[in-house]
Amino acid sequence: MHGSRISQLLACTLLLTIPSVALGNQAQAVPQAVQAVGATLPFSTIEAESGTLAGGATIRRITPGAAVPTSATLELEASGYAFADLRATGASVTIRNTTNITANTLVVRASLPDAPNGGGITAPINLYVNGVLRQAITLSSTQAWNYRNSTTNPDDPHGGGQAIFLYNEFPVWVTGAPIAPGSSISLRKDTNSTAPSYAIDSVDLENVAPALKQPANSLSVVSYGADPTTAKDSTTAIQNAVNDARAQGRTVWIPPGKYLTNSVAPNAALDLTGVKVQGAGMWHSILYRRVPLPAPSGWKSQLTVGSGTTVADLQVLANAVYRGIAGAGGDDYGFNAGGSKGWLLDRVWTRHTDANWLSGTNGVVQNSRTGDTYGDGFNANNSNTPNPEKLGHYLTIRNNFARGTGDDAFATYSDSGASGTNGQMIGTKILNNTAVAPYWANGIRVAGGREVEVRDNLVNTVSSNNAMDISVFGDSGHPLESATITGNTLIGGGGWNGVRTGVHIGSPGPTSRFPNAYTNFTMSNNVIRGSLRSGLMIDKTRIKGTLTDTTIDGPANQGTLIVGGVTGTGTFTRTTTRNLRPGQVAFQNDSPTTFTATIN
C-alpha cells in the first residue's frame, strides 16, 4: 500500500471487508464484530487494486486528507477509491481467487472512455486464467458517461455538463472450466483491445447454479408466444400469461432465456399485480427492455407490482442511456411496487434501470441486486400524492446488494406532498444490505418517517455525498419522528458534491408546514471509517439525538463537527475517535449556546 496511514487503513479495510463481510466467503479473516454487517451474497468481490500489475499498469487512488476533487473522477467512483489503470498494450492486472468459490461467472466492473461526441465506445479486454488466454470480454461505455446539467442532453459531452456515471458492470459466463480457488485471473490490454484505456475496478466471482425447473401449477410464457431468443417482442405474450394466471390462481413461469420487452409499443408496461412470477434464476431468465432511443415521450417499461404479487429469480436489463423517467434516454423504474396487502421481490436483479420504487403496505424486497442504475437502488416511499395503495407502511429492504447507483443506494423518503396531505411513513426497515460506490447521492438515506430501523448495513465508498444521511425529504418532507440506526459500518463519504461527510445529520429547520418538527434519532454501535472529510456532521436546526458506542476511524477532518446555528440536544456516550490527522480534533461544537452536547 502507498500513501498516508489513513489511506492504508481504508485500503486494508476494503480488501478484507468486501470479500468476507459483504459476501461471506473468507469470514475467518475478519474480526467477529464485523462479520454480521452487510448482505450475505453468493459471490465474492476482489478489488483490482489488490492485484499484481504488469506491462506499465498503474494503481490510481484517492488519498484521504488530500483535497477532495470538486467533480466526479474515476478514483472517486471506484469502490475503495482506487482502480487499476491499463493504458499500454500488454498492460495487465492479475488477481488471485482467494475465495472458496469455483467461479463459472464473473462480473467485471470497469470504465472505458466516452466517444469524443458522446454515446460511448465498445472494446474487448482479454481474460487469462493461470496465464492461459480464456476469452475476450466485451466492455462498453455506451450506458455510462452522463453529463449533469448539460444544456443539450445528458449524453452530450459538449453540452457544458459535468461527467458522472463512469463505470459499468459486465456479467460474463466463463468459457471452459470454472475458475478454481487459488487460480490467477488476469485482465490484459492486448492488440485487439482497441480502447485507449481501461479502468478496472473490481471482479466478482460466483458459482451460478443450474437453471431452476418449471414449478407445478404454472403457465409458461413461452406457451403464450414469448420468445426466449430475443428475436421478437414478448411483452404481449407475457402480459397474457399473467392475466390468465391471475384468473386461474396459477404461477407464471419464465423459462431460461432473454425476452425482449417494450420494443414495439409505447405505454405497455407489464402489470404483474396479484400473481407469482417465477424465473429460472437471475442469471438465466432475463427481461430485456429495448426501448427505441431516443424514446418517445411517455414510454413506459417499468414492472408494476401490486397487492399479492411475488416476483422471484429473474433479471431486468434495460438499454437506457440516461436518467429521466419515461424520457428520451429510455429510463424507467425497475419495479414500481404498491398495494395495501403486501408484495414480495426475492432474488431479482435490475440493471440500467431507474430506482426500484417501493411503496404500499407490508412489502418486502430481499436477496436482490441492482447495479448501474440511473436513480436510487431501492427506495421505500409514500409516493408523491395521497394514495391508499402507496402509504409506505412497514416496508422492508433486507439482504440486498446495490452498486453504482445514480442516487441513494438505499433510501426511505417520507413526503407530505405538494398539498401537505400525504401521510407519514411508518415502520421502514433497512436491514443487512450492502451499498457499494453510488456515483450520486448517499449510501443510505433516512428522510423522515416514524419507527424507522436501519440495522447492520455496510456502505463502502461514496463518490459525491455521504455514506449515510439522516434528515428529511426537502421542504415538503415529513419530520423524522423516530429512527433507530444501529450496527452499521460506513466507509468513505464526503465526496465532491459540496461539504459532505461520513454521516450527515440535519433538517431543513422550522417550516410553515412543520413549524415545531425536530429530527429525532437514536444511533448505537456504528462504525464510521475513512471519511474524506469529517466523520460525522450535524447541521441546520432542531436536532434531538442519542449516540452510543460510535467509532469514528481515520476521518480526513474533524471526528464530529456540529456546525454553527444548530439547535437542539445530543447525547454522545462512549464515542471513540482514532487515527485523526495532525491538527484535527475529535469533537468540535460550533453551536455551544444553542446545541447542548452531553458527552459521557
Tallying the residues shown for the chain, one arrives at 600
Tens-digit pLDDT profile for residues 432-491? 999 999 999 999 999 999 999 999 999 999 999 999 999 999 889 999 999 999 999 999
Task: Out of 125-129, 222-226, 281-285, 475-479, pick the least confident.
Answer: 475-479
CATH topology (fold) of 42-206? Jelly Rolls (2.60.120)
What the block records as the C-alpha cell of 216 is: 407445478
Which pLDDT score is estimated for 528? 98
pLDDT band at residue 5, thresholds of 50, 70 and 90? very low
Name the pTM for this structure: 0.94
Is the model's pLDDT at 403 over the cut of 60? yes
8-state DSSP, 48: G
Q: What is the pLDDT of residue 475?
A: 85
pLDDT band at 286 (very low <50, low <70, confident <90, very high): very high
Q: Rounded CA gap, 505 and 599, in Å? A: 18
Residue 113 to residues 18, 21, 56, 205, Cα–Cα distance (Å)? 27, 32, 19, 25
pLDDT of amino acid 281: 98
Terminal CA-CA length for the chain: 37
CATH 3.30.365.10 given to domain 267-599: no
Cα dihedral 320, 322, 324, 328 sign = negative
β 184-188/568-573 pair status = unpaired
pLDDT digits (tens, 9 = 90+) for 83-107: 999 999 999 999 999 999 999 999 9
Q: In the chain, where does the domain assigned CATH 2.160.20.10 lie?
A: 267-599
Residues of the chain with CATH 2.60.120.260: 42-206
- Decide: 38 and 458 in contact? Cβ < 8 Å: yes
pLDDT of residue 268: 80
508: confidence class by pLDDT, cuts 50, 70, 90: confident
Query: Of 439, 536, 540, 531, which Cα lies nearest the Cα of 485?
Result: 536
Residue-by-residue DSSP string for 20-33: IIIT-S-GGGS-HH
Place 21 in a pLDDT band, splitting at 50, 70 and 90.
very low
Provide, rounded to the nearest whole percent, the portion of the chain with pLDDT above 70: 94
Determine the 3-state secondary structure of 238 from DSSP. helix
pLDDT for 319-330, tens place per residue? 999 999 999 999
Q: Residue 300 contacts by C-beta under 8 Å, 6 or more apart in sequence?
A: 262, 266, 267, 268, 269, 326, 332
The torsion defined by the Cα of 211, 214, 219 and 223, in degrees rounded to 10, comes to: 60
Task: Give the pLDDT confidence score for residue 266 in this predicted structure.
Answer: 82
Across the chain, which distance is largest between two alpha carbons, in Å? 72
Tens-digit pLDDT profile for residues 220-273: 999 999 999 999 999 999 999 999 999 999 999 999 999 999 888 887 889 999
- pLDDT for 515 equals 84
